[in-house]
Amino acid sequence: EPAENVEQALSKAQIESNWVLIERMRPFVQAHTGSFASFRDAAFAAIDTFLPELVNYKQDILPLLCDYFGVPF
């Protein structure tokens, strides 16, 4: 059964908190903070490849990542 919202999607991906999500994404995005486009592309590629449960919620997750890593959104 597909997730109905980002919280359900995170739960299905066994991600218990935003902090866990940030730490999961860190290796894929931390070198791309100089450009929004580069950061977005790195984040989306990582989600597509490693967290397919979250593919439908990339646009919901991106602002959280941008805020934490200091990338203007």
pLDDT of residue 2: 77
**Terminal-to-terminal C-alpha distance of the chain:** 32
pLDDT of residue 73: 87
d(CA 20, CA 63): 16
Which residues constitute the domain of residue 34? Answer: 6-69
pLDDT of residue 14: 94
Domain count for the chain: 1
Flag whether 1 is in a domain: no
Residues 13-48 pLDDT 10s: 999 999 999 999 999 999 999 999 999 999 999 999
Flag whether 59 is in a domain: yes
Q: What is the DSSP string of 10-39?
A: HHHTT--SHHHHHHHHHHHHGGGTT-HHHH
- Are the beta carbons of 13 and 55 closer than 8 angstroms? no
Flag whether 58 is in a domain: yes
Flag whether 12 is in a domain: yes
Q: What is the mean pLDDT of residues 9-16?
A: 94
Flag whether 16 is in a domain: yes
Residues 45-72 pLDDT 10s: 999 999 999 999 999 999 999 999 999 9
